[in-house]
């Protein structure tokens, strides 16, 4: 990974503004999420089960959104 996009220049001593910009850059590049994911090792078999469950939830949500509402009369 390059360091190119992770620098923020502090102008006029405004550290708070620079910190906000830095946090925005970090969240846009998903670095914080990647760091949290790497904190614990997850076995590949467990990761497949988790991914499969998430895919199932997404599919059920898609089907729920596509169905017509119940008739209330």
pLDDT one-digit tens code per residue, 5-16: 678 888 888 899
CA pair distance 8, 3, nearest whole angstrom: 11
Cα–Cα distance measured from residue 54 to residue 12, given in angstroms and rounded to the nearest whole number: 47
Q: What is the pLDDT of residues 41-72, one digit of tens each?
A: 999 999 999 999 999 999 999 999 888 877 77
Copy the structure tokens of residue 62. Answer: 């898609």
Compute CA distances 46 → 18, 39, 40, 50, 52, whole Å: 40, 16, 12, 6, 10
Please state the pTM of the whole predicted model.
0.51
Q: Under a CB-based contact definition with an 8 Å cutoff, are residues 4 and 29 in contact?
A: no
């Amino acid at each position: 990974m390059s360091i190119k996009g992770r620098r923020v220049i502090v102008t006029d001593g405004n550290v708070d503004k620079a910190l906000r910009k830095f946090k925005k850059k970090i969240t846009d590049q998903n670095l914080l999420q990647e760091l949290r994911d790497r904190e614990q090792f997850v076995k590949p078999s467990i990761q497949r089960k988790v991914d499969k469950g998430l895919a199932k939830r997404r599919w059920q949500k898609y089907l729920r959104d596509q169905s017509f509402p119940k008739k209330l009369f």
